[in-house]
Amino acid sequence: MGSPTTGPDLDLTSFEDSQAVDLVNRWLAVKQAVDAISNHTKTAYQNDLLDFLRFLTLYDGAQLSATRLKNLTIRDIRAWMADLRQDATPRSVARKLSSVKSFYRWFGKHANFEPTAVLSARAPKFNAKLPRPLTETTAKAVVETVEVQHDTPWVAARDVAVVTLLYGCGLRISEALSLKGKDLPIKDSLRILGKGNKERFVPVIPAAREAVNTYLDLMPFETSHDSVIFRGVRGGPLSPRIIQKTLQSTRLQLGLPATATPHALRHSFATHLLSAGGDLRAIQELLGHASLSTTQAYTGVDADRLMSVYNKTHPKAR
């Protein structure tokens, strides 16, 4: 048979009213309430599950009932993954399978059955994509060059402040742009609400504090307790895309590769701290990572380097 996802458009009238979609919506509500997933993560999960349900409908024309989902076979899963591999990368297929497995773990407990066919499916192998931090010299050059990308002084100061927070404090761009008037004045540390509403405190270097204060002195809009600090030229919340475009202009001017993104500055923060002797656990806390392995990959640390640090510092190893 042909690829189910490349056939005629699915009639969504019955699809959206199906038991299966209702189950997915209930699962998403649980994920948001219990795991505090972000709206972005919720949308990603939703898209993955709805695409999976569309495949099942086009694959065999069966009604999307709870019974249909409970009776899923390994053959169904393999057909779905084979269809995905026609257009998606192994990494994307693995992510979508992870979403479906997460749903089925909840569904299995909810409906009292063992979703063995789904949970036993193996994700395709792929090479983990390690981040590419900038060198210390390059990171400093980026911060300095950002300022000349705009002729309007307060806009230039704004972008310098944001970029300095990314590199100087290791913030995600969404975290920097979420800072509000209640976070002012910027002191020695910032309370950050990261992914999954996990709270952490990050130290603020003087350069970042000064950059934010310079921006606030020049910014033409009033800042209230609940309004965001960083504004667009018309006064609305600053879009991450604006900072991304500014970094794009900056890297073109400096002759840097496309990997020199706002997120690369956060990678650089972690890597440079570690190179200066920072503790991996402490860096994990500063970044807000749930897993140390995430921080290890984030900083490009390999097993040999970890063993070298261990052998030099552990009392029993000396």
Each as own residue / partner, the long-range contacts of residues 283-291 (CB below 8 Å, 24 or more positions apart, any chain) are 285/200, 286/170, 286/200, 286/202, 286/203, 287/170, 288/192, 288/194, 288/195, 288/198, 288/200, 290/196, 290/198
Which of 300, 145, 286, 118 has the alpha carbon at shortest distance from 202? Answer: 286
Token pair recorded at residue 262: 């706002």
Q: Count of CB atoms within 10 A of residue 129's CB?
A: 8
Residue closest to 190 by CA, chosen among 174, 178, 202: 202
Using CA atoms, how far apart are residues 140 and 142, in angstroms rounded to an integer?
5
User: Looking at the annotation, which residues are catalytic?
Assistant: 172, 195, 263, 266, 289, 298
* Distance (Å, whole) CA 297 – CA 293: 6
Distances (CA, A) of 257 to 136, 137, 149, 162, 253: 15, 15, 18, 21, 11
Find how far residue 174's CA is from the centre of its chain.
10
Q: Which residues pair with 197 in a beta bridge?
A: none
Q: Which H or E element spans position 191?
A: strand 189-193
